[in-house]
């Protein structure tokens, strides 16, 4: 077998065999396939797609390119959630204590933020002392003790994905569904999961802005997860505005702790609702509950009883963070002193929000990364005070930007102001959960 023959076959629209895909991916990992051959193949896959069989084989080959974790000693079902990413999407921090308190076990391998979306690891680091670089044995111990653990990806997990991702970024082949699916599912499966819920965002702050595209991705993710023996379900959920009020790192952790403590507002309720729904689906997939109704009730119960907050507190302590943040949330790294009000330029209703623009504005102000190597200021934030459908008068506040730098803060406030479209008629309400894909 030669790499160029495999490239040619995909170029001509042929279906690659399992052996051909294994040969190619193992060459990617070992370096035997040159980078210029990999990128020609990536473009051929981008333009010609993959069949279900190819998709499974690619995902499996990427999974087997590295270490596969195994938590068989922990006698609970292993379950996780993946989100395709959005603005203000912080459900991971609620879902993990929810499902752990309900008897499942969530070994969560997370990433850093890049572009307009944040990353769970960055958020967690705004809890003083919190470690996201646990060794595998530390990770396993925390998981056993608390029912969930949250950590960064190690170099041993799916190394083929790291190489492919770097090349995709440089060759405009990021957005191909087969490549996205293989990247996500191979990494998730490497954590030894039994079941997985997938939150596919759709709308102005999502990677997939169009519903049909989101649907295709959701189907491919669920199908591939199931084909690899991980019971999977995908939800298509709204990302036409920030999820909840907080966009930033400290501020998102703060919002989560408030929600875990039962402090819910109109603006933050969607975060809780979506977290409960996803966590409930995870319980059903994990076979802890037999119906979605009983699963929802169980999650609400662990929330209202404070069991989930207690689970979170244990995890923070086990991962070397300051557990007092659960009682005194102001112990989270604070916001900046300087703040910048975003005013509505006119009276009317919020009809549309460019959520991606809000994400980019906060990233550029230092709250996220424009480039992989950027440092993050966890205090930079935007707190939204309006949601789509809300009425507003000229000069009233849309929200507040926090930034230590005058120019950065002002610039972000101007960008965010322009991201809100104020119209004359109240728009129809947006459904938070749009579709369930089995």
Sketch the per residue contact string, 124 through 163, with its own copies: x for CB under 8 A, - otherwise.
Answer: ----------------------------------------
Distance CA 378, CA 309 (A): 23
- DSSP per position, 276-331: HHHHHHHHHHTTSSSSHHHHHHHHHHHHHTTHHHHHHHHHHHHTT--GGGGT-GGG
Alpha carbon of residue 233 to chain centroid: 15
- Residue 173 CB: number of other CB atoms within 10 A? 20
Tell which one of 173, 186, 314, 344 touches its own copies (CB under 8 A).
173
Q: Which is nearer to its own copies, 114 or 142 (CB)?
A: 114
Q: How far is the CB of 49 from its own copies (least distance, A)?
A: 12
Show Cβ contacts of residue 246 under 8 Å, excluding neighbours closer than 6 positions: 88, 90, 252, 254, 255, 268, 381, 382, 383, 384
Burial class, 385, CB count within 10 angstroms (exposed 0-12 / middle 13-18 / buried 19+): middle
Q: Which is nearer to its own copies, 171 or 410 (CB)?
A: 171
Asked if 268 contacts 247 with a C-beta cutoff of 8 angstroms, the reply is no
* 187 is annotated as an active-site residue: yes
| Interface segment toward its own copies; rule CB under 8 A; list 4-12, 21-29, 96-104, 371-379 | 4-12
* 411 is annotated as an active-site residue: no
Please tell me whether residue 50 binds its own copies under the rule CB under 8 A: no
Q: How far is the CB of 21 from its own copies (least distance, A)?
A: 16
Q: Which of 187, 215, 231, 303 is catalytic?
A: 187
Distance CA 342, CA 381 (A): 12
* 369 is annotated as an active-site residue: no
Please tell me whether residue 208 binds its own copies under the rule CB under 8 A: no
| Percent of the chain that is helix, strand, coil (3-state, to 5) | 45, 15, 40
* 403 is annotated as an active-site residue: no
Q: Which of 82, 223, 296, 369 is catalytic?
A: 82
* 90 is annotated as an active-site residue: no
Kindly identify the residues of this chain, within the stretch 8-47, that bind its own copies according to CB under 8 A: 8, 11, 34-44, 46-47
- Residue 229 CB: number of other CB atoms within 10 A? 11
Backbone dihedral angles phi then psi of residue 107, each to the nearest 5 degrees: -85, 100
Please tell me whether residue 1 binds its own copies under the rule CB under 8 A: no
Please tell me whether residue 5 binds its own copies under the rule CB under 8 A: yes
Contacts to its own copies by CB under 8 A: 3-5, 7-8, 11, 34-44, 46-48, 167, 169-173
Show which residues are catalytic.
82, 161, 168, 183, 187
């Amino acid at each position: 077998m030669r790499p160029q023959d495999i490239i040619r076959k995909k170029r001509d629209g042929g279906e690659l065999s399992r052996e051909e895909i294994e040969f190619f991916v193992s060459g990617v990992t070992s370096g035997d396939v040159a980078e210029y051959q990999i990128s020609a193949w990536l473009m051929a896959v981008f333009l010609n797609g993959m069949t279900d069989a190819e998709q499974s084989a690619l995902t499996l080959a990427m999974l087997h390119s590295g270490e596969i974790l195994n938590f068989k000693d922990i006698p609970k079902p292993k379950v996780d959630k993946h989100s395709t990413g959005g603005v203000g999407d912080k459900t991971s921090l609620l879902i993990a204590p929810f499902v752990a308190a309900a008897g499942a076990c969530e070994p969560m391998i997370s990433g850093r933020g890049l572009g307009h979306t944040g990353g769970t690891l960055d958020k967690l680091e705004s809890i003083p002392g919190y470690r996201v670089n646990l060794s595998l044995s530390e990770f396993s111990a925390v998981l056993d003790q608390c029912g969930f653990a949250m950590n960064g990806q190690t170099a041993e997990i799916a190394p083929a994905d790291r190489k492919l991702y770097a090349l995709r970024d440089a060759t405009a082949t990021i957005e191909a569904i087969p490549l996205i699916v293989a990247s996500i599912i191979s990494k998730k499966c490497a954590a030894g999961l039994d079941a997985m819920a997938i939150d596919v965002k759709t709308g102005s702050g999502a990677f997939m802005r169009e519903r049909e595209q989101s649907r295709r991705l959701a189907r491919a993710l669920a199908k591939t997860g199931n084909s690899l023996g991980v019971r999977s379900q995908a939800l298509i959920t709204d990302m036409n505005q920030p999820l909840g009020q907080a966009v930033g790192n400290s501020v998102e952790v703060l919002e989560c702790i408030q929600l875990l403590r039962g402090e819910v507002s109109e603006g933050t309720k969607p975060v809780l609702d979506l977290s409960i729904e996803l966590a409930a689906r995870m319980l059903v997939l994990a076979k802890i509950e037999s119906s979605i109704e009983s699963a929802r009730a169980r999650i609400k119960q662990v929330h209202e009883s404070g069991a989930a907050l207690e689970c979170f507190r244990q995890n923070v302590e086990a991962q070397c963070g300051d557990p007092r943040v659960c009682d005194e949330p102001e112990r989270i790294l604070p916001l900046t002193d300087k703040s910048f009000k975003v005013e509505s330029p006119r009276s009317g209703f919020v009809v549309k929000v460019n959520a991606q623009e809000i994400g980019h504005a906060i990233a550029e102000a230092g709250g996220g990364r424009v480039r992989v190597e950027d440092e993050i200021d966890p205090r930079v934030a935007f707190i939204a005070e309006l949601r789509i459908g809300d009425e507003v008068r000229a000069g009233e506040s849309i929200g507040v930007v926090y930034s230590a730098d005058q120019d950065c803060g002002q610039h972000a406030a101007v960008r965010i102001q322009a991201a809100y479209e104020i119209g004359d008629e109240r728009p129809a309400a947006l459904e938070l959960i749009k579709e369930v894909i089995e």
